[in-house]
Amino acid sequence: MCGFVGLIQARGVEADVVPSLVLGLQAVQHRGQDAAGIATWDRSDRIRLYKDVGRVSEVFTDEAIRALPGRAGVGHVRYPTGGGATRNDAQPFMTRRPSIALAHNGNLTNLAEIRRHLAIRGMRAVSLCDSESILLALADELQQQQLVGHSTEDLVVAVRRTMQRLRGGYSVVALAEIDGELTLATFRDPHGIRPAVYGRTPGGGWAVASESVSLDVNDARLEGEVPPGGLVLLRPGGEPVVVEILHEAQRHCIFEDIYFARPDSVMAGSRVYARRWAFGERLAREWQARGLEADVVVAVPDTSRPAAQAMAERLGLPYREGFIKNRYSGRTFIMPDQATREAAMRLKINLIDEIFRDQRVVIVDDSIVRGTTMRRLVQMVRQHDPREIHVAIFSPAVRHPCFYGIDMPSQYELVAHGPEQGSALEARLAIAFGADTVAFLSEEGLLEVAGAEICAACFTGIYPIEVNEEERGDIVRDRRPHIVADAAALTFE
C-alpha cells in the first residue's frame, strides 16, 4: 500500500507548494512508512526530486524542503507491495524527455510483461518499483505522439495506450506540461480498485490524493473521485477535464473501508467512519442471531472503534476502552517481518484489568489476516481472568491472497486459509486463539452494507481482474522470497 498527493497552486500564489505537500503526505502516513518523496516543478521548468527511506517527518528536514522550490508537485509515501525497500525504489519517479514526475499506489499484476515491452522499446527500469515502469511506458507513448509540445489529445492517447498495457489495481498522479501549461493529471485502473480523489484549493488551485484527508489538511474542497478507468486533468483557474479512458464495472477495494483508510476519509461516495459503523450494526444483528450473550464490548484500537461502538449500541451493552495503545509503536500489519511484528505487539497494547476481570467480553476487530495479533490479544486478556472471551470480526474471513496492492500476496500467511468455511472455520480459529467463540461478518452482510460494486476477492476468491499462475508466482516471489521454497505457497486455489 502507498499514498500519494499532488498539488498545483492557484494562479497568483507564489509560495512554494512543498509545505502543503508535506502536510498532505503526513495525513496519509498510515498508508506507508518505509519511504517518502516529493518532486516539484521549479520556476525554471526543471523537476526537483527528493526521496529517501523513512517517514515524512524524517525525510523532509528543513534542508530537504528548501531544496524543493516550485508551485506544483507530487508526493508519495511508500509501503512496498512490489519491488524493494531502498531509496532507489522510493517514489516519485521522473523522466526528463518528456518532463514527467509520477507517483502511484497499487500493484501491477503483469509487471514482467510490461518490462519485456519496455525492453523491446529500448528502455529499462533502474528500480524494482512498478511505478517506474508505468512512467516509462507513459513517457514512451507520449514521445510517440510528439517529441515536444504535447497536447491534451496526445496525453489522452498516451494514457489510453498505457492503460491498455497495465493490469492490476492502480491509481496514478503525474505532473507534466500539456498544452503549454503545467498540468496535474491523475488516472485510475478500469475497475477503480485503488482510490484517488481530487479537490479545489482556496483561490482555484487543485489537489489530488489517495484519501480526502490530504485535501482537508490543505483546506481543499473535495470535488470528486477519479472515475474508474478515467483520466482527470487539472490546471489552475480552470475546471477539471474528465476523460473516460477504459471504464469497467467499479470494484472499489473494500479492505480500504474495513482496515486501511482513515475513518475521516470519504471513499466510494461515503465516509469510511459511517461504513465501519454500518458493518458493526450488521455484525451485531448476526451475532445476536447466534444466541450469544456478553457483558461488555471492547474494540481493538484504532480501526475497530466505530464498529465496536455500533455493535455495543445495537446489543444494548456498554462499550469500554479496554485496550490502551502506545501511539508511538506503529502498526503491526504494516511491519515487514513476523519477528518484528510480534515484538512490536508487546510494546503496543496494554490492558485495563477492571474492564476484563470476571466479564463476558466481546473483542471487536476489523479483520484477521495472519492471526498473530488476535492470538496474542486473547492470551493477554486471559491473564485478567474474564468469564468468557468472544471475538467478533466486522469483515468475513480473509481466505485468499490480494494481488492488487494490499500486502497479503500469499495464502501461506493467512490463518483462515484452508478447507474449512463458516462455523467450522470459526471453531478452528477459536481454538487457535484460545477464545470461547469467533464470529466473522457474513459475506452477505458485507455486500448488504457495502453494495455490489466492490472488490472482495480476499474474502470470496472472486477476482475482478484475472491473475494467471505465472503472475501470481511472480508477485509472491517478489514480496515473499523467503517462502517460495514452500510449494504450497505458490499453489493457488
Among 36, 185, 254, 389, binds ligand SF4 (CB under 6 A): 254
CB of 253 to ligand SF4, least distance (A): 3
User: Quick one: 300 or 457, whose CB is closer to ligand SF4?
Assistant: 457
Burial of 493 (0-12, 13-18, 19+ CB in 10 A): exposed
User: Quick one: 364 or 456, whose CB is closer to ligand SF4?
Assistant: 456
User: Quick one: 207 or 476, whose CB is closer to ligand SF4?
Assistant: 476
Among 82, 169, 190, 199, binds ligand SF4 (CB under 6 A): 169
User: Quick one: 302 or 453, whose CB is closer to ligand SF4?
Assistant: 453
User: Quick one: 20 or 367, whose CB is closer to ligand SF4?
Assistant: 367
User: Quick one: 28 or 457, whose CB is closer to ligand SF4?
Assistant: 457
Contacting ligand SF4 within 146-165 (CB under 6 A): none
User: Quick one: 131 or 367, whose CB is closer to ligand SF4?
Assistant: 367
Q: Is 368 in the site for ligand SF4 (CB under 6 A)?
A: no
63, 119, 137, 169, 432 from 72: Cα distances, Å: 19, 32, 23, 26, 52
Among 38, 108, 253, 361, binds ligand SF4 (CB under 6 A): 253
CB of 149 to ligand SF4, least distance (A): 38
CB of 274 to ligand SF4, least distance (A): 19
**Are 332 and 362 in contact, with CB atoms under 8 Å apart?**
no
Q: How many CB atoms lie within 10 A of CB 424?
A: 11
State how beta strands 197-201 and 221-225 pair. antiparallel
CB of 331 to ligand SF4, least distance (A): 16
Binding residues for ligand SF4, how many (CB under 6 A)?
Answer: 12
Question: Which residue stretch of 38-46, 55-63, 250-258, 355-363 sits at the interface with ligand SF4 (rule: CB under 6 A)?
Answer: 250-258
Among 60, 404, 433, 440, binds ligand SF4 (CB under 6 A): 404
Question: Which residue stretch of 6-14, 30-38, 151-159, 249-257 sits at the interface with ligand SF4 (rule: CB under 6 A)?
Answer: 249-257
CB of 456 to ligand SF4, least distance (A): 5
**Are 18 and 68 in contact, with CB atoms under 8 Å apart?**
yes
For ligand SF4, what does the binding mask look like between residues 432 and 471, x meaning CB under 6 A?
A: -----------------------xxxx-------------
CB of 448 to ligand SF4, least distance (A): 16
Q: Any idea what the Cα angle at residue 96 is, between residues 92 and 101, rounded to 5°? A: 25
Among 173, 307, 406, 416, binds ligand SF4 (CB under 6 A): 406
CB of 179 to ligand SF4, least distance (A): 35
Among 170, 255, 273, 323, binds ligand SF4 (CB under 6 A): 255
Among 402, 414, 425, 489, binds ligand SF4 (CB under 6 A): 402
Contacting ligand SF4 within 38-97 (CB under 6 A): none
Please state the three-class secondary structure of the chain as a single string.
Answer: CEEEEEEECCCCCCCCCHHHHHHHHHHCHHHCCCEEEEEEECCCCCEEEEEEECCHHHHCCHHHHHCCCCCEEEEEEECCCCCCCCHHHCCCEEECCCCEEEEEEEEECCHHHHHHHHHHCCCCCCCCCHHHHHHHHHHHHHHHHCCCCCCHHHHHHHHHHHHHHCCEEEEEEEEEEECCEEEEEEEECCCCCCCCEEEEECCCEEEEECCCHHHHCCCCEEEEECCCCEEEEECCCCCCEEEECCCCCCCEEHHHHHHHCCCCCEECCEEHHHHHHHHHHHHHHHHHHCCCCCCEEEECCCCCHHHHHHHHHHHCCCEECCEEECCCCCCCCCCCCHHHHHHHHHHHEEECHHHHCCCEEEEEECCCCCCHHHHHHHHHHHCCCCCEEEEEECCCCCCCCCCCCCCCCCHHHCCCCCCCCHHHHHHHHHHHHCCCEEEECCHHHHHHHHCCCEECHHHHCCCCCCCCHHHHHHHHHHHCHHHCCCHHHHCCC
For ligand SF4, what does the binding mask look like between residues 183 and 212, x meaning CB under 6 A?
A: ----------x-------------------
User: Quick one: 22 or 278, whose CB is closer to ligand SF4?
Assistant: 278
2 catalytic? Reply is yes
Annotated catalytic residue: which of 2, 253, 402, 458?
2
**Are 20 and 72 in contact, with CB atoms under 8 Å apart?**
no
For ligand SF4, what does the binding mask look like between residues 267 and 306, x meaning CB under 6 A?
A: ----------------------------------------
User: Quick one: 7 or 415, whose CB is closer to ligand SF4?
Assistant: 415
Active site residues: 2
Residues of this chain that bind ligand SF4 (CB under 6 A) = 169, 193, 253-255, 402, 404, 406, 455-458
